[in-house]
Chains A and B, each alone.
Chain A
Amino acid sequence: MASNIVLSEVEYNVVGKRHLRPDGVDKVTGRAQYGADVQLTGLLQGKVLRSPHAHARIKSIDTSAAEAYPGVHAVVTAADLSFASLSREQLGGDYQRVKFASNHVLASEKALFKGHPIAAVAAESQHVAEEAVKLIKVEYEVLPPAMTVRQAMEPNASLLHEDLFTSELGELSDKPSNVASHMAFETGDLEQGVQQADVVLEREFETASVHQGYIEPHNSTAFWNTDGQLNIWCSTQGPFVVRTSVADILRHPVSRVKVTPMEIGGGFGGKITAYLEPIAALLSRKSGRPVKVLMSRTEVFEASGPAPGTWMKVKLGVTNEGKITAADIFLAFEAGAFPGSPVMQGAACALACYDVPNARINGYDVVVNKPKTAAYRAPGSPQAAFAVESVIDEICEQMGMDPVEFRLRNASREGVRRVEGPVFRRIGLVECLEAVRNHDHYKAPLEGPNRGRGVAAGFWFNRGFQSAVNISVNPDGTVNLIEGSVDIGGSRASIAQQAAETLGIAYEDVKPTVVDTDSIGYTMVTGGSRTTFATGWAAIEAAEDVKTQMVERAARIWDTPIEDVQYIDGVLSHKSDPELRMTFRELARQLLGTGGGITGASNVDPSGEGNGFGVHIVDVEVDPDTGKTTILRYTAVQDAGKAIHPSYVEGQMQGGVVQGIGWALNEEYFFNDQGQMMNSSFLDYRMPTALDLPMIDTVIVEVANPGHPYGVRGVGEVPIVPPLAAIGSAISHAVGQRIDRLPANPGAVLEAMS
């Protein structure tokens, strides 16, 4: 692996080191408790009945035979949701939002995608539940589905929601439509920019629906006690978000809902929405027993949230000197069955890598008869980057310009204003591009027939948001760190490292624990590449609080003013009396006899998130007989700000690339003409296996984020942004035909070549 490029100037003791992860032993020995492991006295098993149709009106549901089946304790339908008993007047302006959220959990008037929950059963065993759901009789009037944005945007398209009107640049349209919203960003004068250009190129792109493919399926166990206390155990990236959603959908006080996040087997953005939790809660309320509901892999594919399929058009104007003068972009993203695709993020990311003076970006959020899309690692950005970076690559090819040099001439840097408004602070795109230009991989010639090299850049905002941390000092000089951030990618370690660094104690002396929503302050999801940044920030503030209290205690013990006590590198000392000196550990031992224990606490909502950039290089070889692409070599370069735990940063980079390779080459939701997914298993939804991948080389560039005490930038999402475009361009060079739709699977490449 190439050496990382450290540009930050501060040396740390704990931060930046590759420590062992606190949850490692439990995970490698199989003792870690995941949602499917939850066992409670009297636990019932739930099973969801799902729509076999992509689009159908539900004329009637008869649950009587299921209710009468021996071993069945409860059956629920949308009629059991609070929404069924609330009037439009009661909900007011919230009506459509609550309706969509409720209908997403359990369909009421219409089934809007194959797999849409219709009813659910709680029974003595999984087998009884499975047999019982088969006894529920549902009468459907099957309707034609609208499966892609192009179909759904046609004037005569089948309408998913008769009461959905387009939000047209903020104004509601007068006719119902599948287009939920049209938004736009503009800067400069597009026409003038086009006139200034020497080369103008316009291309059209399509990408398929893809799934995050986390290993652990969704699961939820709920117990609704007779006193109204609702406890939920589940696999989620955001226990507080689940708490809010469940309280909202069930109209139950937030304070009466406790969500315990179990260990999580991957999320990538797909484990934020509460799919099963309201259903398990309703089944528990009705049966009086705890109820566990698990999804199968097919249910995960058909009824959780994939990333949107897209239709995109990009027009770029460039001068002979390689300066971009104009960009006109059209993005139409599938929202799935309910509004809310990440088209806004896609639009904001599309041009973020470049200083473009004149630009217009139109974005359309379009409902289709597919499961409602969810976040997937840098939501919206990989698709937009595929379109924009592919056009840049083709322009470079036409102009005979080096693609890294071209990007350096146009690269965003401090002070550049993005199309949607914000001005960049210190960012590291230029440093990443320079690292690529200087890398062995880029300097090595690519020889041999049917081979091609691709380069692409990518952007993600990274996020801040709310986090809370409590740190309690133990008598042996260690501390317990309590946090609300679910640990997906090693964040227990990266947060403990920041606490240890701040306290000046050893990493091993910080014991991090992720707790339920009753036991820590509000903490936003593990997502948006925010956790090491924002929860790390909370850990730093909680540690500072501990330090303040430790100084006060030392002052009390020494009977000296607080101002005379200093705390440096885990040692408390009197500023002028060298006799008065205690290590953190020595003072910790005395706490209980000198006024009681010490707990530091923090609630933060930091806004200094540093934007993330990555640039990737890939070499491919295409079999001219079969169209099959082999990835020969892959190098990912990324600005991490400060890599708190470099191994986990590298892991994030490699993981993002792998998912990007799958997205580019083979992954797609394959539907039949009735809108039914035909490949809802890992056998036929072709994610890459270990045998399909080369070693993914990584180079971490560290341009410290001035908005974080240790310079952290989020790292989890950027690495999935460049691969689609880099691989598409590499294949284009290998076969001599532009790749403008993904996946570029062997059949598609073969067609492109013939």
Chain B
Amino acid sequence: MEAVEFTTPKTIDEAVQAMASKGDRARALAGGTDLLVQLRGGRRSADLVVDLKDVPELNEISYNASSGLTIGAATPCYRLYADANVAANYPGLVDSASLIGSIQIQGRASLGGNLCNSAPSADAIPPMIALGSVANVVGPNGSRQIPVEDFCTGPGRNVLEPGEILVSINVPAPPANSGASYLRFIPRNEMDIAVAGVGSAVVLDGSGQNFVSARISLASVAPTPVFCKAAGDSLAGKAVSDEAIEEAARLAMEDAKPITDMRGTIRQRIHLVGVLTRRTLNIAIQRARGEE
């Protein structure tokens, strides 16, 4: 590999300036668990690597019962599941933060990096979508907010313009009687890429017997993470039942447009979307009822 320049800005402004100075030849570095592997493997090239780990706003976790959770884009996974507020209020996020890669990877890798790497198989994106999260982006022309389901545009591609960086992700405060869950299927038990993944979030009524709303999102079954609006909406207002869950799973399977590759076949992946939608909805329901 050729030599690359490296810089460690201390503020958002400096970071944006550095990113803008090289346009699409600049790459932002958080944990580096994707970027460094890609650069060394020749799958990406860059003239400038901008290390964002010294920018304070990118390394904070803050929670507030009304505005929800703000996760700095470079915050490593382990800090999420070690945070009492996150553990208590966002078990669906903890599900993915604690299964990405391995313990060692989770010490470096961040949810923000996972989003910006924009892999179809990203484990952190479906629960963020299911929870209605918003990405806070800053660039040379100011800041903008992008719903996470609109962030990725293709494998490894997203809406970030040259010079823009992801500063943080906002996850709304969990409504009463709500729960979320993420599961992925891998042939092994760690260090693997999802053959398929499903994140589900539900809001139940006070009785815990009826759906108020639900959101479902898929990994590894399309060029981008998939937000299954119809599947989630199908549950709204229905009583919690196997039939309702089955119908949502069927609709989620319809949204899956996978390919056959070394990790799985089309048939297997669509089947797994059904299995995992049922399983994640059931876990989310249990969590909403406070049963778990």
Check B241 for interface membership: any CB of A closer than 8 A.
Answer: no
Q: Is the CB of B188 within 8 A of A747?
A: no
Instruction: Show 28 A/B contacts (Cβ-Cβ < 8 Å), sorted by A.
Output: A127-B3, A130-B1, A131-B2, A626-B185, A626-B275, A628-B185, A666-B187, A670-B262, A678-B261, A679-B262, A682-B191, A683-B193, A686-B188, A686-B192, A688-B188, A689-B189, A689-B190, A691-B190, A692-B188, A745-B187, A746-B185, A746-B187, A746-B195, A746-B268, A747-B195, A747-B264, A747-B268, A751-B268
Top 7 A-B pairs ranked by shortest CB distance? A670-B262, A691-B189, A747-B268, A625-B275, A679-B262, A678-B262, A691-B190
Taken together as a complex, chains A and B put the C-alpha atoms of A684 and B272 apart, in Å, by: 19
The interface of chain B, by Cβ under 8 A from chain A, is 1-3, 185, 187-193, 195, 261-265, 268, 271-272, 275
A352 within 8 A of B: no
A691 to B192, CA, bound (A): 12
Q: For chains A and B in complex, what number of residue pairs have CB atoms within 8 angstroms?
A: 50
- Specify which chain A residues have a CB less than 8 angstroms from the CB of B187 in the assembled complex: 628, 665-666, 686, 745-746
The CA of A665 and the CA of B186, in the complex, are separated in Å by 13
Are B262 and A684 within 8 A (Cβ)? yes
B262 touches A689 (CB 8 A): no
**A199 located at the interface, meaning its Cβ lies under 8 Å from any Cβ of chain B in the complex:** no
Q: Which residues of A contact B185 (CB under 8 A)?
A: 626, 628, 746
Docked Cα-Cα span, A353 to B3, in Å, equals 59
| Given A625-B275, A750-B268, A666 contacting B188 (CB threshold 8 A) | yes
A513 and B190 CA atoms in complex are apart in Å by 39
Closest A residue, CB atoms, query B271: A750
Instruction: Give CA–CA (A679, B185) in the complex, Å.
Output: 18
In the bound complex, residues from chain B placing their C-beta under 8 Å from that of A665 are 187
How distant is the Cα of A682 from the Cα of B195 in the complex, in angstroms?
A: 16
| Complex CA distance for A745 and B268, rounded to whole angstroms | 11
**What is the bound-complex CA distance between A131 and B191, given in angstroms?**
31
Query: Assuming A127-B1, A127-B2, A746-B185, what are 6 further A-B pairs, CB within 8 angstroms?
Result: A665-B187, A678-B262, A684-B263, A686-B187, A686-B188, A691-B190
Chain A residues near B262 (CB-CB < 8 A): 670, 678-679, 684
What's the nearest-Cβ distance from chain B to residue A403, in Å?
27
What's the Cα separation between A577 and B229 when bound, in Å? 100
A316 to B190, CA, bound (A): 40
Number of interface residues of A (CB under 8 A): 24
In the complex, residue of chain A having the shortest beta-carbon distance to the beta carbon of B264: A747
Contact call A691/B188, Cβ cutoff below 8 A: yes
For A617-648 the 0/1 string (1 means CB < 8 A from B) is 00000000110100000000000000000000
CB neighbours of B195 from chain A (8 A): 746-747
Interface centre among A682, A684, A747, A750, by most chain B C-beta atoms within 10 angstroms, is A747
Flag if B265 contacts A747 (CB, 8 Å).
yes
* Set of chain A residues within 8 Å of B189, measured between Cβ atoms: 689, 691-692
Q: Nearest chain A CB to B108's CB is how many angstroms away?
A: 16
- Residues 635-677 of A at the B interface (beta carbon under 8 Å): 665-666, 670
Question: Which residues of A lie under 8 Å from residue B193 when comparing CB positions?
Answer: 683-684
- On whether A689 and B191 interact (CB within 8 A), knowing A626-B185, A684-B262, the answer reads yes
* Chain A positions within 8 Å of B271 at CB level: 750
Q: What residues on A are CB-neighbors of B2 within 8 Å?
A: 127, 131
Cα–Cα distance between A670 and B265 once the two chains are bound (Å): 13
List chain B residues, Cβ under 8 A from A626.
Answer: 185, 272, 275
Taking the closest CB of chain B, its distance from the CB of A298, in whole angstroms, is 8
> A202 CA to B158 CA in the complex, in Å?
55
Q: How many angstroms from the CA of A665 to the CA of B189 in the assembled complex?
A: 13
Chain A residues contacting B268 (CB-CB under 8 Å) are 746-747, 750-751
**Please, which residue of chain A has its CB at the minimum distance from the CB of B189?**
A691
Residue from B1, B3, B191, B195 having most chain A Cβ neighbours under 10 A:
B191
Kindly state the separation between the CA atoms of A688 and B192 in the bound complex, as whole angstroms.
Answer: 11
Residues from chain A with a CB closer than 8 A to the CB of B261 are 678
> With the chains together, A672 CA to B60 CA distance in Å?
44
- In the complex, which residues of chain B have a beta carbon less than 8 angstroms from the beta carbon of A751? 268
For B260, the closest partner residue in chain A by CB is A747
| Bound form: Cα–Cα A540–B55 in Å | 67
How far is it, in angstroms, between the C-alpha of A628 and the C-alpha of B276 when the chains are bound? 14
- A686 to B272 CA separation, bound complex (whole angstroms): 19
Question: A670 vs B264: C-alpha distance in the bound complex, in angstroms?
Answer: 11
Candidates A678, A689, A750; contact of B188 at CB < 8 Å:
A689
Give the residues in chain B near A746, CB-CB below 8 Å: 185, 187, 195, 268
Could you say which residues of chain B place their CB within 8 Å of the CB of A692? 188-189
Q: Which chain A residue lies CB-closest to B263?
A: A684
**Who on chain B is nearest to A669 by CB?**
B262
Q: Inside 8 A of A691's CB, which chain B residues have their CB?
A: 188-190
Q: With the chains together, A130 CA to B42 CA distance in Å?
A: 11
**Are B192 and A683 in contact, with the CB atoms below 8 A?**
yes
Q: A residues within 8 A CB of B3?
A: 127
